[in-house]
Amino acid sequence: MQRAVRALIQRQRELANSPHPTERFRTLWVAAMLDRQLARCSDREIGSLLSFVQDRFHIFEPEFAICRHAQRSLLLRNIKEDFSE
């Protein structure tokens, strides 16, 4: 699952950086495919993907803080679920 998501992320980046407007427009289709794949991911998989995305941000950027917060939130939710089972 994560390989498919990472491939879609890479493809979306490639299309977004294209000098051709028609290729940049196709990012919307790839974004929709990415959204479908992410909806099928578990919280643990999403946390792992956040680590992958977070590596692209500098530690002082707000996106880094957002990714880090989301990771902690998912981790805490998983810990609570593990203890309640």
> Is residue 52 within 8 Å of residue 12, measured between CB atoms?
no
Residue 85 predicted with pLDDT over 80: no
pTM score of the predicted model: 0.69
pLDDT for residue 20 is more than 90: yes
Closest CA relative to residue 37, chosen from 8, 12, 75: 8
- Over the stretch 36-48, which tens digit does the pLDDT of each residue have? 998 898 888 888 8
Greater confidence, 75 or 31? 31
